[in-house]
Amino acid sequence: MENTENMNKPTEAINNDMGQLAEDARALMAATADVAGEKVGEARNRLAAALEHAREIAGNVRDKAAAGVKVADQAVRENPYQAIAIGVGVGALIGFIVARRCAGRRD
């Protein structure tokens, strides 16, 4: 379960950043509340709608990421040797490609 917690750290950082952005946008809306004008009102309405849409998207992304982490964790726990073999295979493939690129630059 520790791996799942480590995978959630970047997600939490993104959530914190999104929360800070939302707070800044709300502060901007509050600061412009006394400013009159049709264009300012339209901009505030669009910003409020964008914030709500971003909140929904962030929630969906968080839910899908958590579900993906759970599925991957379960698959690795059910098939540890296959997971190791896939990891070794992918690592060997990447190593082969990098070695080929490096050898090509020497010539």
Q: What is the pLDDT of residues 11-69, one digit of tens each?
A: 677 777 777 777 777 777 777 767 767 777 777 778 778 888 888 888 888 888 889 98
Sequence-distant contacts of 19-28: CB under 8 A, at least 24 apart: 21/54, 22/51, 22/54, 22/55, 25/50, 25/51, 26/51
Per-residue pLDDT, 8? 64
For residue 72 the two structure tokens come to 């991957």
Q: Please state the length of the chain.
A: 107
Per-residue pLDDT, 12? 73
Distance CA 34, CA 37 (A): 10
